[in-house]
Each structure stands twice: as structure tokens, then as C-alpha cells.
Amino acid sequence: MKLTILFGGASFEHEISIVSAITLKQKLTQFELTFVFCDQDHTFYLVEASKMKAVTFSKGEHKKMPKLSLVNGAFSQKGLFGSSEYNGTVLNLIHGADGEDGSIAALLDFYSIKYIGPRIDASVFSYDKRYTKWLCNARGVKALQHEELNLKEHSNITLPYPIIVKPARLGSSIGVSVVKDESKLDYALDSAFEFDGSVIVEPFLDGVKEYNLAGFRANEKFYFSIVEEPQKEEFLDFEKKYMDFSRSEQVLKAEVSKELESKLRANFEKVYKNLFEGALIRCDFFVVNNEVYLNEINPIPGSMANYLFDDFQGSLEILINSLVHAKRAKVNYDYIHSISRAKGK
């Protein structure tokens, strides 16, 4: 089965995307893989599998590789005697901006290329943490109390300390700070506003239980990963998450009751259904006093959360085979022809 891994992008999570792609190269041995790298200038390059190493990109060696363009249904490489097309299903592995904000989804939809990843509307509600809160409210999923701040205009924070400050449209814990008293607030806000003009402030719950659950829906059925309880100190900072993105070995299943696992799955379904079809996502939950709260949605989780699945390759095959190709409107110019006939032309 053909699969095109699309990675890179122009975002603060560019390097993390490279790490994810290298990890999946080692994991997806049953697929016929093509690697397409999107650099920070939005140029696409065809990368040989043997060159899938971090230094290839850090040293700029990818610039010597063939450039690709998009045509209907495929990536295309132009040559002296024609062109070659790479028409495998695309796995959108671009983290952060470009990949998760809907830009790549719109581009692939425009060129009628089948892909695994969030569609435009799903990207809107998962990329911006403010809109994720709105989605929770609309779908009956609990979320932590929060306040929204804007760089140009914001009021005083009313939540009691300690609090956690995070950019509204960024992942991998970049720009995130735990603030225990007001004296550290200005620095935390400056750090967050460096990456985004909008910021989310939430109560920081010390010692809260956190669980990760990945999954997807295919052929009217949900497929779930194991439940993971991430091991962390105060919170997962960028360095810890960077290492997390390179994981390939399966982790141990969290020791949770069947009742709690059922609650986590039920909340996942509420978030996913009729919005994230076509994507494998991971939801990160908090559990407070036996109540489940959605922390955030990872529409393109690190290394696609492969380490949470008993059979990751088999899961991807199921998802690929269930993808629905969007129908294009058929244009036949009947209206214009009817006007022309009425005018005798």
C-alpha cells in the first residue's frame, strides 16, 4: 500500500515534524513509503528514504533533492522526458501551523488528494485552544475554567494562583509557563505573547491525573488505542515533548478502571464524531474528582501516537481504506448555454 509522508512546514514545530517522520519511517515497514518535505518557504522536496536523517535538513542537503509540485490527485516531479507522479494516500505529519491550522488540508482538498489528517473545519476547532473550549461547550464535554487574553488588549486575570499560561495556537508546550504567584505573571505573558497574540489562562491543578487516548472512526466504528498515563513532573515542557515525539516502542497501558476507560472513550467520541473523520487524533484528558475534562486535542499527534496502538500499521490500513473522497461539483455550463440560446447566439 502506498503512503506519502508529508512533513516539515513553516511553524515553530518544524523540527518536531522531522523527528516524527523519521520515527514513522522505522515503524511503517509494510508500506511503500514516499517522503515529501515542505520547507519553511513552502517548497516541496522528494526525499530519498536513505536520506531521512535529521542532519539532511539541518545542513540544507534537502535543497539538492528533486522539487515537487501539486497536480490533480498527486505530487508531481517534472523531468526532461515527462513527469512522475506520487499518488499514494498522504499522511499529514506537519505539526503546528500549516499542518494543523487547515492550510495543508485546504491544499490537499483543492487538488483532490486523499489524505489522513484533520479537515479544515476540524483544524479550526483543534488548532486554536479558544475554539476547543467552544467545541467542548457545544458537545457536552467538560473543560477547565479559563480566561482569554489578547496582546493588544486584556484585563486583569481573576483566576486564583497557581495558573498555567499558554499560547492559544501552539503545541508541544512551547511558550507555556506555570505561574505560582503574581510576581512571575508578566514574564510568563511575555513568553507566551512572543509566539501568539492570543493567550489562554487556566488553573494549574497540582497532582491532577492525566490520560491520553488516541483513535479514529472508520466504517461507522471507533478504533481506540490503549489509555496512557504520561509520566511527568510539573508539566511536560518542550524538551520532554520533543523526546516524546520520537517514541516508537509501545508504552504500558494505564491502570484505570473499566468505568473510567469507558468515560474517556465516551468523551473522545463526542469530540471526534462528525468532525474529525479521516484523521487519527489523540485527546489528552484530566480526571478531577472522578470527572473527565478535555485538556486538548492533538489532531496530528507526535509520531501519530504509534506507541499507543497494538497494531499501528493495521490501524492505518483500516483508516486509509475508509477514507471518503470529496466529490467535486460537475460543471457543464448548462446555465450559460441556456442564456446563449435565449439570445440566439
Q: What is the pLDDT of residues 189-236, one digit of tens each?
A: 988 998 888 999 999 988 789 999 999 999 999 999 999 998 765 555
Residue 326 has pLDDT above 90, yes or no: no
Mean pLDDT over 267-291 rounds to 96
Residue 319 CA to residue 279 CA, distance in Å, equals 8
pTM of the model: 0.89
Q: Provide the pLDDT for residue 240.
A: 52
Mean pLDDT over 282-305 rounds to 95
Closest CA to 245 of 292, 307, 202, 197: 307
Phi, psi of 212 (to 5 degrees): -110, 135
Residue 236 CA to residue 176 CA, distance in Å, equals 10
Mean pLDDT over 12-25 rounds to 94
Which set of grid coordinates corresponds to residue 70?
501539486
Residue 218 CA to residue 318 CA, distance in Å, equals 7
Mean pLDDT over 136-158 rounds to 88
Residue 124 has pLDDT above 80, yes or no: yes
Q: Provide the pLDDT for residue 77.
A: 96
- Mean pLDDT in the chain? 91
Residue-wise pLDDT for 40-55, tens only, equals 999 999 999 999 999 9
**Which CATH homologous superfamily contains domain 147-203?**
ATP-grasp fold, A domain (3.30.1490.20)
Q: Looking at 79-83, 232-236, 240-244, 336-340, which range is the least confident one?
A: 240-244
Residue 100 CA to residue 122 CA, distance in Å, equals 9
Q: Provide the pLDDT for residue 172.
A: 64
* CATH code of the domain made up of 2-117: 3.40.50.20
Torsion of the alpha carbons at 219, 221, 222 and 225, rounded to the nearest 10: -80
* Greatest extent of the chain over all pairs of C-alpha atoms, in Å: 79
Q: Provide the pLDDT for residue 195.
A: 87
Name the fold adopted by 123-143+206-322.
Answer: D-amino Acid Aminotransferase; Chain A, domain 1 (3.30.470)
Torsion of the alpha carbons at 11, 15, 20 and 25, rounded to the nearest 10: 120
Residue-wise pLDDT for 68-97, tens only, equals 999 999 999 998 888 999 999 999 999 999
Q: Looking at 153-157, 253-257, 279-283, 284-288, which range is the least confident one?
A: 153-157
Q: Provide the pLDDT for residue 122.
A: 97
Domain residue ranges in the chain:
2-117, 123-143+206-322, 147-203
Q: Provide the pLDDT for residue 325.
A: 75
